[in-house]
Chain A
Amino acid sequence: MSKFRKKSGSGDAPGINTASLPDIVFMLLFFFMVATRMREVTLQVKVTKPGATQSVKIASEDRNKVISVYVGKPTKANLYGSAARMQLNDVIADLKDVGPFVLEEMNRLPEADRKKAFVSIKADEEISTGIITDIKEALRDVDALKIQYGTRKTASLY
């Protein structure tokens, strides 16, 4: 039993060596830097995308060709009301802003990408379709015909 007797003197456990802690944290840091991408906007509307089984993944090389329009109920109801609104970049906007916004974003893209650019309508599943119809009409007015309904990938509907 005497083998297990504590050394006389200091009763403290020896300190854990933390010299490799920075290495571990840096490894995690690099992983997150490589595997993730920056958030583009701060959402001011609540968006839960509807599920769809036939959803197509946007390839990473096409990410810069996406022009996003978010639609949903504003999170700040006291500022923007409780009806569904659309968000372009970082601001809540009206229907008349959609056309100019899309054209402006289109112009910002390099010329080679403009033909492949598309508008992604990311709308909340609880809203009514009227506002989506309005947006589609506005897009047709400015000849931005390639669109995509933002969805969640689900395995099966039933």
Chain B
Amino acid sequence: MGRRSRKPLPEINSGSMADIAFLLLIFFLVTTTMDQEYGLPRELPRKVEEKIPPPPVKERNVLLVYVNRNNELLVNNEYGDVKSLKERVKTFIPNKTNRTDWPEKEAPEEYGSDGNTFVFQKSKGIVALQNDRLTMYKTYIEVQDILTQAFNELRNELAKEKYGKSYDELSELADKGQTDDIQEDASAKIEAIQKAIPMAISEAEPIKSK
């Protein structure tokens, strides 16, 4: 017994260790992905029984955007294009010149909480987006993107005016602010801005085939 224990243990051959590690590495390379997921979040309208008529919406409050099967745009019954749509929405929704054929405004109301309040007249404007069944999805998303951009820019302007920081900057602060206080403060401001300018994009019911 004693004699045996004095013998040095044979070394384990680790030459194939690299092979094993490579095998595992290749397995993980194949079965996993690294891509980030992005998207445009939307809220669908709740389904209501057909007997109940939908609440009446005044015609002046609605900007109807229709995308046809040739990927052309009809904005309030006139030809439009994607490039000018953003400016159109940005002037239509706030209706700063108080045109009578553009959206009404609600009575001035106070938005925000503790010390961060501001008084603002919320617009009643809605963008109604309709599409043909044969509209290309790419165009549809392009229009959705432009509409989102228009609303985000309106929010940026309001946030800059009321809080001195754009909406994007506030979002960043709410996400990566240095202290919890900064983050909470930014989140409260974002909520107020979102309430004052809701993302009023209505994906209207599909038009029944004519």
Contacts and interface: CB of A to CB of B under 8 A. Distances in A.
B21 to A, nearest CB: 4
Interface residues of B, number: 49
Given A29-B24, A29-B28, A54-B148, A152 B38 contact: yes
Contacts of A55: 38-40
Given A54-B152, A148-B40, A126 B29 contact: no
Interface stretch (A6-14, A34-42, A74-82, A107-115): A34-42
A50 B141 CA distance: 7
Interface stretch (B1-9, B41-49, B107-115): B41-49
Interface stretch (B97-105, B127-135, B157-165): B127-135
A63 B69 CA distance: 34
A105 interface: no
A127 B137 contact: yes
B163 to A, nearest CB: 21
Contacts of A150: 37-39
A76 B145 CA distance: 32
Contact of B21 (A26, A58, A139, A147): A26
Contacts, number: 155
A26 B152 CA distance: 45
Nearest to B32: A36
B44 A128 contact: no
A53 B137 contact: no
B36 interface: yes
B145 A52 contact: yes
Interface of A: 18-19, 21-22, 25-26, 28-29, 32-33, 35-39, 50-58, 63, 66, 118, 120, 123-130, 132-133, 136-137, 139-141, 143, 145-153, 157-158
Interface of B: 14-15, 17-18, 20-22, 24-25, 28-29, 31-34, 36-47, 67, 82-83, 131-138, 140-142, 144-146, 148-149, 152, 203, 206
Given A136-B203, A151-B40, 6 more contacts: A25-B18, A25-B21, A118-B41, A123-B137, A129-B67, A143-B47
Closest 3 CB pairs of A and B: A130-B133, A36-B32, A55-B38
